[in-house]
A and B are shown apart, each in its own frame.
Chain A
Amino acid sequence: EDQVTQSPEALRLQEGESSSLNCSYTVSGLRGLFWYRQDPGKGPEFLFTLYSAGEEKEKERLKATLTKKESFLHITAPKPEDSATYLCAVQSSSNTGKLIFGQGTTLQVKP
């Protein structure tokens, strides 16, 4: 069964304190791994898609990496505006179009 687990559930950082969020997955053939950002009361906002182990993508202070079993979202020198819930999802080769989501990591960055 395809499964996604994110850790930690919640993370509090001081502004400028770098850290990483983890997304562990089991899937029968990975078509893609997705990272989304979700602000309170809003829909998920697409950040990255990773397709194969070893791939990395960056956007401002965020960098996503992928191995065969997990993905990391590295946040470098975060700012308060990076506070949000970060969602990880996988799409398997056997379930075209369907995403399996993790529970999310809620990040709070204090000034």
Chain B
Amino acid sequence: NAGVTQTPKFRILKIGQSMTLQCAQDMNHNYMYWYRQDPGMGLKLIYYSVGAGITDKGEVPNGYNVSRSTTEDFPLRLELAAPSQTSVYFCASSTTAKGADTQYFGPGTRLTVL
């Protein structure tokens, strides 16, 4: 199993440009998540999905969009990139054990908006 994979690893955008961060998992997990991590701030949840066709907002959803057409893929779309979106983005997926969901993370995408 590859686990959770993310592409690209690094990206530089200009203000106003758009891009899609890709995330895929091969563990047949229903739950998938997108987080951003800023220095000293911990991880903040952007969007999450409990299954194909179902998505919901997390703590910091403004400026982002998601879709979930398959169990395996959960892309994150940035429209009109802004410097405040400079961050490291992590995708995660989870299984449920004893009622608590253990989340497994991808390697991250480092995004800089100039």
Contact = CB atoms under 8 A, between A and B. Distances in A.
Contact of A97 (B4, B41, B50, B106): B50
Contacts of A45: 105
Interface in B58-100: 58, 90, 94, 97-100
Given A97-B31, A97-B33, A98-B58, A46 B42 contact: no
Interface in B1-24: 4
Contact of B43 (A9, A46, A87, A91): A87
A27 to B, nearest CB: 12
A99 B43 CA distance: 9
Q: Decide if the interface of chain B is mainly helix, strand, loop or mixed.
A: strand
Interface residues of B, number: 26
Interface residues of A, number: 25
A101 B48 CA distance: 15
A96 B102 contact: no
Given A42-B108, A97-B48, A102 B42 contact: yes
B40 interface: yes
A43 interface: yes
B46 to A, nearest CB: 11
A8 interface: no
Given A43-B105, A97-B33, A97-B94, A31 B45 contact: no
Interface string A56-89: 0000000000000000000000000000000101
Interface of B: 4, 31, 33, 40-45, 48, 50, 58, 90, 94, 97-108
